[in-house]
Amino acid sequence: MASDTTATTDQRARVEESIDALLTAFPPARTPEPEFWGAQFDHGLAWVQHPEGLGGLDVSPRWQAEVDRRIVEAGGSTRNRTQNVLGIGMGAGTIVAHGTEEQQQRFLRPMFTLEEIWCQMFSEPGAGSDLAALATSAKLDGDHWIVNGQKVWTTLGHLAKWGMLVTRTDPDVPKHAGLTYFIVDMESDGVDVRPLYQITGEAEFNEVYFTDVAIPDDLRVGDVGQGWTVAMTTLMNERVAIGGNVQPRGAGAIAQAVEAWERTDAPDRDPAKRDQLLRYWVEAEAMRLTTLRAKEAAKQGTPGPEGSTAKLQWADLNKAITSFTMDLLGPEGMTYPGGYAFTRPDVTSNRTPSPHKAFLRSRANSIEGGTSEVMKNILGERVLGLPGEPRVDKNLPWREVPRS
């Protein structure tokens, strides 16, 4: 429960001792960022839950918030976490759990110091919700694997030095059993990264084409055929990385709706629109309270269903609110300020998009990170215990499963 056990007291002492040592030896305000982050790694404060020597202290992950708070307070930066979000947020945990010692020594530190950016390549045009159906092939040729295929929705692909890649190494077994996980050098011959323009006119993501790309076998993560398990570790870390702070009351999409309402001319402020605005305000706040409740329950070690419902609720609500904001804008909702600039936005910045862009961007909310349909299956089956759909592809070799 909430009271400190001896073990927690001991962990707190170790964490605080390390923070003090780090901040004394490397005052963040006067230490260049990469040097500081390197020292932070060496002090076991990069990701405290991981083992000592690999950037951690082998303590509960809940101490990380305290570490970051102290660093920021001392004038340091944690922007490496957002700028290398896929590496630090997802890749590190995967390499710690499944990587070889050489891989751990080689990759973790420069990942944390932002010297090497990482991307993740799981989704394919033919494998979205059904990720395990993916088709990018890897064939062993001596001590190398030769990779061919296409990945999509690759965040930071154009900046990344390294990629986390799941491939099909055995098409003759059922889909989950034939996958293998690699680290791939994005500068290799045959890797072609192209911007993927989305409905906002921007390219947050990339498509990555692989044509006879050679990956040395020592960059394989986990055993051959174990790729699904390793990929799940990556995605579990994604949930941890995303489930961070709870927004303050009235922030986010609802703030833009309220702002648009306040800018509405008095004659246009009809009671029906006001009621609709308040309906959204109510749901946004109820949802926010649920995330607070979920966070509290998780901290107490008694997580319940409230921890699984936010993504689904947020996606649908965000779409509804951003659409309503456009309605409030009236004729201005027919414009697109700044036009469709075919650029790459800085996806790691927290800048608030215009209501127009937010409206368009929100359409992805119920698709990315698990479609709302898949989320409802998960809630129905894992939380409510309802039976699953019959699966026609479960025992078939991947090669024989119909694909679009």
Partner 1 sequence: MSTTAPPTVTFALTEEQQLLRSMVRELLTERVTSARLREVMLGDEGYDAVLWRELADLGLVGLAIPEHLGGGGSGFVEVSIVLEELGRVLAPVPYLSSVVLGATVVATGGSEDQQARVLPDVATGSTRLALAHLDTAGRLTGPPGIRASRVADGWVLEGEAGYVVDGRTATDLVVAATTDDGLELFLVDAEADGVERTDVEVLDATRPMATVGFSGVRVDDANRLTGAEPMAALHAGLQAAVVAIACEQVGGTQRTLEDATAYARDRVQFGRAIGSFQAVKHRLAEMLVAAESARSAAHHAARVLATDERQELAVAAPLAKAYCSEVYEQATGDAIQIFGGIGFTWEHDTHLYFKRAKSTKLLLGDPKHHRSLLGDALGI
Catalytic residues: 238
Q: For partner 1, which stretch binds (CB under 8 A), given 110-118, 140-148, 275-283, 323-331?
A: 275-283
Cβ neighbours, 10 Å, residue 118: 27
Both tokens assigned to 86: 């896929």
Q: How far apart are CA 294 and CA 302, in angstroms?
A: 9
Q: How far apart are CA 287 and CA 281, in angstroms?
A: 10
Binding mask 360-379 for partner 1 (x = CB under 8 A): -------------x-xxx-x
Q: Is 229 in the site for partner 1 (CB under 8 A)?
A: no
182-201 b/e with 16+ CB inside 10 Å = b? bbbbbeeeebebebbeeebe
231-247 b/e with 16+ CB inside 10 Å = b? bebbeebbeebeeeebe
State whether residue 187 is helix, strand or coil: coil
Q: Is 403 in the site for partner 1 (CB under 8 A)?
A: no
Candidate list 380, 393, 397, 401; residue touching partner 1; CB under 8 A: 380
Would you say 150 or 308 has its CB closer to partner 1? 308
Q: How far is the CB of 355 from partner 1 (least distance, A)?
A: 17
Would you say 312 or 360 has its CB closer to partner 1? 312
- Computed on alpha carbons and rounded to an integer, the radius of gyration of the chain in Å comes to 23
Candidate list 24, 29, 248, 350; residue touching partner 1; CB under 8 A: 248
Would you say 25 or 286 has its CB closer to partner 1? 286
Q: Is 275 in the site for partner 1 (CB under 8 A)?
A: yes
Residue ranges of alpha helices (H) inside 300-365 are 310-329, 355-361
Q: Is 188 in the site for partner 1 (CB under 8 A)?
A: no
State whether residue 268 is helix, strand or coil: helix
The binding site for partner 1 (CB under 8 A) comprises 2, 248-250, 258, 261, 274-275, 277-279, 281-283, 285-287, 289-290, 292-293, 296-297, 300, 305-306, 309, 312-313, 373, 375-377, 379-381, 383-390
